């Protein structure tokens, strides 16, 4: 990327101010209050926009600071830049009421969308936080902030070192990330976004665990339903068993009673057959009764023989009387005689009905017993570990293994990136300090220290000029590591604490390693040293605070 032109229509103290920038080193020279910081803020505002603060913060934010005193409704500007061999123009209106941003490709006239991320794509993902902590150095703000540490941590998890070898998915001990997911979390540059991939795996694991929980709850509900149904069926089985036992006993009793009745009827039939049909009582019976009375009278001692004989005689007489009184019964079959002696209650339940009920209850009992057995088998199957649960467990283990593998890779890549950053920053620092400091140590949270002759030196032990060199080296190294895109380096009175030797080394390094450098300064040291080094530069003199015009020239 290379900035070509700035046009401040109404921004801060500037109105219709055009500034052309070129490749190489650009010096924007001006006295204090000539608008150098305004131009610096304008570039940031054009690239990333400018939001008005809320509440008390709005009185001192950048939006209010650079809002034009006159014609605030025309708070706007234009920035042209080159990217990918094409020229693009950003037009922004910062006014709170008519705020808008337009992005146009001047080569073909195509209108792009800032809101849809086209500008962010052209800037290679550069955001305002990384911009301020790498390529842009404001006055007295050479130290990097927390956003740079956070960006490196995020970048380390998304480092593209593994992408080339894992286009088909990350493999770890038989666990493979799906190819779809591998591409889904792959940036256009070929970088695998491990942070998003890891988050995706976590969401997949949570979804799987929710699915498992829902399945277990459903299984538990099914078990409770089946246990309740089994309880009902068991009660039915118990009731039917009792009913079957009752009917069986009743049938047995009725059958025994019927058999006894048949026996009695048969006995009476035999007696009736022996007795002549014309006699109500047989003569043999009378003779037998007489013999019994006589024997009792003879054999029993007196006076008891009289009493016993009289009792036997009365009993025999009663029998004869009954036989004489009751007419002879008609001949009937045994079933008919049995039915004549059945009680009214027994008549309500015929024997055939009892047999039918016994058969019906037996069949129903058998069905209920089969149903109960099936329910018991199903409950036993529910108690066993199902194949679905084994599949859930296998998938969860696979996801956890993939997450562990990604975390390991992320940690390893983070160490690689930190090593790369340390190596690049140490190389730059060794160059600009002329070999005095060659090893920069970077700890967690971007805490810096130097090593010299085996001794650790904290930044508090160094001069302000050396500290600023350390942070300059870190910024330039971070820009190299974080972004493939070459961005302009923008420095606003950055070298106040540099001596001429340090400044000369920095300017030489910038000329050799950066395509475009924009230096805002109120001194002539930079131009003087560039002249001594024989480095070509373009200078733009800003208007003096009293309104005098400036000049633009290119020098070698």
The rounded distance, in Å, linking the Cα atoms of 228 and 234 is 10
Q: What is the mean pLDDT of the chain?
A: 78
* Confidence label for 67 from pLDDT (cuts 50, 70 and 90): confident
pTM metric for this prediction: 0.59
Give the 3-state DSSP-derived string for 258-278, with helices as H, strands as E and coil as C: HHHHHHHHHHHHHHHHHCCCC
The rounded distance, in Å, linking the Cα atoms of 541 and 27 is 8
Lowest-pLDDT choice from 189-193, 449-453, 503-507: 189-193
Backbone angles phi, psi at 111, to 5 degrees: -95, 120
Lowest-pLDDT choice from 18-32, 136-150, 188-202, 420-434: 188-202
Q: Per-domain residue ranges for the chain?
A: 283-321
The rounded distance, in Å, linking the Cα atoms of 514 and 525 is 20
Peptide bond into 381 cis (omega under 30): no
Burial 357-374 (b: 16+ CB within 10 A, else e): bbeebeebbeebbebbee
Task: Count CB neighbours of 150 within 10 A.
Answer: 15
Predicted pLDDT at 299: 83
Return the DSSP state at 58: G
Helix (H, G, I), strand (E, B) or coil at 537: strand
Provide, rounded to the nearest whole percent, the portion of the chain with pLDDT above 70. 76
Lowest-pLDDT choice from 56-70, 121-135, 228-242: 56-70
Nearest Cα neighbor of 132 from 123, 141, 140 is 141
For the stretch 308-367, pLDDT in tens is: 888 888 888 888 787 776 544 444 455 444 444 555 555 445 777 878 888 898 899 899
Mean pLDDT of the 12-34 span:
90
Statement: residue 185 has pLDDT above 50? no
Predicted pLDDT at 163: 39
The rounded distance, in Å, linking the Cα atoms of 207 and 186 is 23
CB 509 within 8 A of CB 428: yes
* Confidence label for 270 from pLDDT (cuts 50, 70 and 90): low
* Confidence label for 478 from pLDDT (cuts 50, 70 and 90): confident
- Most confident by average pLDDT, 99-103, 290-294, 379-383: 99-103
The rounded distance, in Å, linking the Cα atoms of 329 and 533 is 156
* Confidence label for 489 from pLDDT (cuts 50, 70 and 90): very high
Residue with more model confidence, 429 or 319: 429
Lowest-pLDDT choice from 49-53, 123-127, 163-167, 395-399: 163-167
For the stretch 202-214, pLDDT in tens is: 888 888 888 888 8
Statement: residue 278 has pLDDT above 80? no
For the stretch 98-116, pLDDT in tens is: 788 999 999 998 999 998 8
Give the 3-state DSSP-derived string for 67-133, with helices as H, strands as E and coil as C: CCCCCHHHCEEEEEEEECCEEEEEEEECCCCCCEEEEEECCCCCEECCCCCHHHHHCCCCCHHHHHH
Determine the number of helices (DSSP H) and then strands (DSSP E) in the chain.
16, 17
Mean pLDDT of the 83-112 span:
90
């Amino acid at each position: 990327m290379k900035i070509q032109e700035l046009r401040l229509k109404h921004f801060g103290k500037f109105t219709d101010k055009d500034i052309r920038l070129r490749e190489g080193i650009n010096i924007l020279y001006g006295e204090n209050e000539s608008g150098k910081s305004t131009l610096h803020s304008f570039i940031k505002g054009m690239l990333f926009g400018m939001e008005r603060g809320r509440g008390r913060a709005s009185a001192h934010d950048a939006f209010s600071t650079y809002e034009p005193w006159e014609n605030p409704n025309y708070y706007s500007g234009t920035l042209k830049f080159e990217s990918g061999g094409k020229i693009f123009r950003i037009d922004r209106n910062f006014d709170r009421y008519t705020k808008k941003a337009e992005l146009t490709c001047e080569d073909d006239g195509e209108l792009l969308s800032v809101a849809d991320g086209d500008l962010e794509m052209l800037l290679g993902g550069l955001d305002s936080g990384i911009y301020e902590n790498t390529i842009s150095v404001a006055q007295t703000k050479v130290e990097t902030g927390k956003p740079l540490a956070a960006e490196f941590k995020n970048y380390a998890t998304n480092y593209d070192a593994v992408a080339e070898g894992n286009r088909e998915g990350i493999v770890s001990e038989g666990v493979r990330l799906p190819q779809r997911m591998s591409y889904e979390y792959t940036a256009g540059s070929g970088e695998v976004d491990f942070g998003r991939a890891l988050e995706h795996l976590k969401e997949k694991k949570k979804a799987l665990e929710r699915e498992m929980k829902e399945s277990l709850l459903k299984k538990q509900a099914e078990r409770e339903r089946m246990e309740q149904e089994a309880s009902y069926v068991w009660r039915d089985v118990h009731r039917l068993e009792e009913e079957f036992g009752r009917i069986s006993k009743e049938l047995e009793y009725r059958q025994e009673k019927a058999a006894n009745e048949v026996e009695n009827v048969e006995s009476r039939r035999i007696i009736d057959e022996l007795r002549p049909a014309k006699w109500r009582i047989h003569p043999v019976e009378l003779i037998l009764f007489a013999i019994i009375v006589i024997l009792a009278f003879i054999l029993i001692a007196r006076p008891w023989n009289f009493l016993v004989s009289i009792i036997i005689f009365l009993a025999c007489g009663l029998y004869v009387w009954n036989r004489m009184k009751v007419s002879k019964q008609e001949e009937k079959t045994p079933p008919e005689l049995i039915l004549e002696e059945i009680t009214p209650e027994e008549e309500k339940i015929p024997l055939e009905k009892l047999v039918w009920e016994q058969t019906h209850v037996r069949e129903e009992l058998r069905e209920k017993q089969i149903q109960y057995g099936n329910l018991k088998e199903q409950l036993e199957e529910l108690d066993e570990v199902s194949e679905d649960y084994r599949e859930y467990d296998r998938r969860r283990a696979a996801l956890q293994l993939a997450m562990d593998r990604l975390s390991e890779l992320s940690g390893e890549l983070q160490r690689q990136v930190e090593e790369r950053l340390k190596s690049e920053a140490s190389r730059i620092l060794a160059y600009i300090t002329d070999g005095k400091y060659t090893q920069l140590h970077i700890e967690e949270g971007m805490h810096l220290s130097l090593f010299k002759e085996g001794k650790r030196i904290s930044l508090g032990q160094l001069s302000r000029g050396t500290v600023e060199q350390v942070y300059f080296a870190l910024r330039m190294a971070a820009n190299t590591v974080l972004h493939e895109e070459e961005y302009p380096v923008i420095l606003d009175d950055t070298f106040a604490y540099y001596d001429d030797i340090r400044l000369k080394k920095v300017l030489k390094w910038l000329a050799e390693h950066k395509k475009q450098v924009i230096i805002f300064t109120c001194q002539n040291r930079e131009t003087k040293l560039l002249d001594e080094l024989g480095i070509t530069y373009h200078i733009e003199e800003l208007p003096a605070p009293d309104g005098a015009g400036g000049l633009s020239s290119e020098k070698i």
